[in-house]
Amino acid sequence: MELHLYDTLSREKRRFEPIDPANVRMYVCGPTVYDFAHIGNARPVIVFDVLFRLLRHIYGEKHVTYVRNITDVDDKINARALHDYPNLPLNDAIRKVTETTASQFQADAEALGCLAPTHQPRATEFVLPRSDGRADMKSLVQELLDRDHAYLTLGNEGREILFDVSSMSDYGALSKRKLEEQIPGARVAVDSHKMNAEDFVLWKESGSRDPGWQGEFRPNPKSGYYTEFRISPENAARLQLNSPVVAIHGRPGWHIECSAMSAAYLGEIFDIHGGGLDLIFPHHENEIAQSRCAHGTRAMANFWMHNGFLQVEGEKMSKSLGNFFTIHELLEGRSFGNRSWDGPVLRLAMLMTHYRQPIDWTVARLKAADDLLTSWMRLVADLPVTDLHTPPSPQLIEALADDLNSAEAIQLISHLAKSADSQVKRTELLGNLVFMGLVPDPARSAEIFDKAIGLFASLQSKHAENMRKLSADYEERSKYAGPGVKLGDLSSTKRTLEDFRTLNELIERRLAARSRKDFLESDRLRGEALAMGFVLKDSKGTQGEPLTTWEVAR
């Protein structure tokens, strides 16, 4: 099986060849847990979960490592942690502040049918050097200083260590932004304390009363300071220009977090780095710069994958427009379409579009996904739980192996469902639904698999009850059948039992009118039946008695 993926860096779809087939490695940027994750955050979570499943299928479950971080280093989070828990160490206080939002994100991902990544590191755990020797942010910053890619300067709010973009000859390759053509001020501040307008923060000083971590850095005498702006004696003292070690109580820049956490678990070069299209610049561009320059490597990741944007009902999602929805709100039914939406429905609505294409998130899309999933579940609801282990169809894997073409995979499932006229095909359908994460699967924890069994038992019970009701309903409808009545006319969900009762009474009244030769009333009742959607036909029975039958008006 050959896997082909689109690489944003090279702008081409290429054959995927892992660095080490026994250890395929993928990193995806996770959420900032200051608030609940919104529906846009759900797209990369779902997209790269499908890729995780595909990689495990091809290379083996034990040979794939998937890392998705949790960003809990954020100025708003830090400030709240200091305010709410002033007597706790900063990392402990942050954990308290983000406990609810981080837990909700995990619950949301589970509800969306996602497997747990191999590792989910928190940024706070990788700020300072670790006892296990894994990569950390402070040490990466020091490495960049030592290699002449960073410098210490005095910013508007205190001391900063900045990355020198001019020290990297191919900076901007991912976003295809040429350094000399970039417009200062578009995405970066234009400050006199920077050597280049595009230089970005690696470490930033916090105020004496603000939260932060204590970092000690050795500026490189060759290029460790930037002093081309006017330095007052006070500022020179703050910069500690002649000190071999500069202590800065501060916090890391945003981009350095992912460079540290990916290196900590996946090494200096790994196979796949994923995220949303909005992260290409500046986040992923700066990740590449930091990682390559700190490690002295040719690349950070061999493939860069990005999912497309999501808009809501034709407009960009924003709180000001009132179309900003969290995953939790959609699951709880507090916002979109005046109803709640099951996690598998949200997942299917995402996967119906190729991951690189934009999605218009609409109520109509969710209703279509809900109807489709309901029809599939009816076909598999009575299958034994052991069939959850059924492997996916080769055709499904082939579709996904072509740059994760989930849209084609969903079409294949739909075609299979339409022809699922045997238990073998229905079992194949179930295997595909499990692989796509639309039904809980045994690859997850025992607890979640128990939920899958419970879900199936519930579906089977509902199926049996529905069949009993349909049987009773059909038996009741059959009482009102006339000669030549089609089964579809009796079982049509558009016709209620009350419709058939009314029609039967109308026919009896019309037969009575005909027997007393009241043809005006007979014609009126025929018209009344036609208005109800039924065509009456008069004939004679075997003994010559008047007989009236009906058909649904076409």
- Residue 94: half-sphere exposure toward Cβ, Cα within 13 Å: 23
DSSP string of 329-393, one letter each residue: HHHHTSSSTTS---HHHHHHHHHTS-TTS-EEE-HHHHHHHHHHHHHHHHHHTTS-GGGGGPPPP
Cα 553 from Cα 532, distance rounded (Å):
9
Which CATH code for domain 339-446?
1.20.120
Query: Cβ(406)–Cβ(369) under 8 Å?
Result: no
Cα 418 from Cα 121, distance rounded (Å):
43
- pLDDT for residue 156: 81
DSSP string of 133-168, one letter each residue: ----HHHHHHHHHHTTSEEEEEETTEEEEEE-GGGS
- pLDDT for residue 382: 83
Q: Tokens 């901007």 sit at which residue?
A: 172
What residues are designated binding site?
29, 258, 283, 287, 319
The SS3 call for residue 473 is helix
Q: Residue ranges of the domains in the chain?
A: 4-126+258-311, 137-254, 339-446, 487-552
- pLDDT for residue 186: 38
Cα 372 from Cα 433, distance rounded (Å):
12
- pLDDT for residue 459: 54
Cα 240 from Cα 219, distance rounded (Å):
10
Sign of the C-alpha dihedral computed for residues 347, 351, 355 and 359 taken in this order: negative
Cα 78 from Cα 210, distance rounded (Å):
8
Query: Cβ(444)–Cβ(116) under 8 Å?
Result: yes
Under DSSP, the state recorded for 482 is -
In DSSP terms, which residues pair with 272 in a beta bridge?
26, 303
CB atoms within 10 A of CB 186: 11
Radius of gyration of the chain (CA): 32
The SS3 call for residue 420 is coil
> How does strand 158-163 pair with strand 150-155?
antiparallel
Cα 4 from Cα 401, distance rounded (Å):
6
- The pTM assigned to this predicted structure is 0.80
Residue closest to 553 by CA, chosen among 525, 533, 526:
533
Phi and psi for 303 in degrees, rounded to 5? Answer: -130, 135
How far from chain centre, in Å, is Cα 337? 20
> Judging by beta carbons within 10 Å of its beta carbon (0-12, 13-18, 19+), is residue 350 exposed, middle or buried?
buried
Query: Cβ(126)–Cβ(134) under 8 Å?
Result: yes
Cα 265 from Cα 263, distance rounded (Å):
6
pLDDT per residue, tens digit, the chain (554 aa), is 899 999 999 999 999 999 999 999 999 999 999 999 999 999 999 999 999 999 999 999 999 999 999 999 998 999 999 999 999 999 999 999 999 999 999 999 999 999 999 999 999 999 999 999 999 999 999 999 999 999 999 888 899 999 999 999 999 999 998 766 554 443 344 567 899 989 999 999 998 788 899 999 999 877 778 876 667 788 788 888 878 999 999 999 999 999 999 999 999 999 999 999 999 999 999 999 999 999 999 999 999 999 999 999 999 988 878 888 999 999 988 778 888 899 999 999 999 999 999 999 999 999 999 999 989 988 988 888 788 889 999 999 999 999 999 999 999 999 999 999 899 999 999 999 999 999 876 555 445 445 555 655 565 565 556 556 655 655 665 565 554 444 445 555 456 767 778 888 888 899 899 888 898 999 899 989 888 888 888 888 777 788 888 887 76
Phi and psi for 353 in degrees, rounded to 5? Answer: -120, 140
Which CATH code for domain 4-126+258-311?
3.40.50.620
Compute CA distances 114 → 34, 52, 93, whole Å: 21, 10, 29
Query: Cβ(113)–Cβ(347) under 8 Å?
Result: yes
Tokens of 287: 């990740």
Q: Tokens 């100025």 sit at which residue?
A: 75
Query: Which residues are CB-contacts of 319 (< 8 A; sequence separation ≥ 6)?
Result: none
- pLDDT for residue 383: 85
Cα 525 from Cα 508, distance rounded (Å):
10
Compute CA distances 333 → 38, 347, 357, 537, whole Å: 14, 16, 27, 49
- pLDDT for residue 240: 85
Angle at 71 between CA 193 and CA 115, to 5 degrees: 150
What residues are designated binding site for ATP?
319
The SS3 call for residue 202 is strand
What residues are designated binding site for Zn(2+)?
29, 258, 283, 287
Tokens of 169: 């000859």
Query: Cβ(526)–Cβ(506) under 8 Å?
Result: no
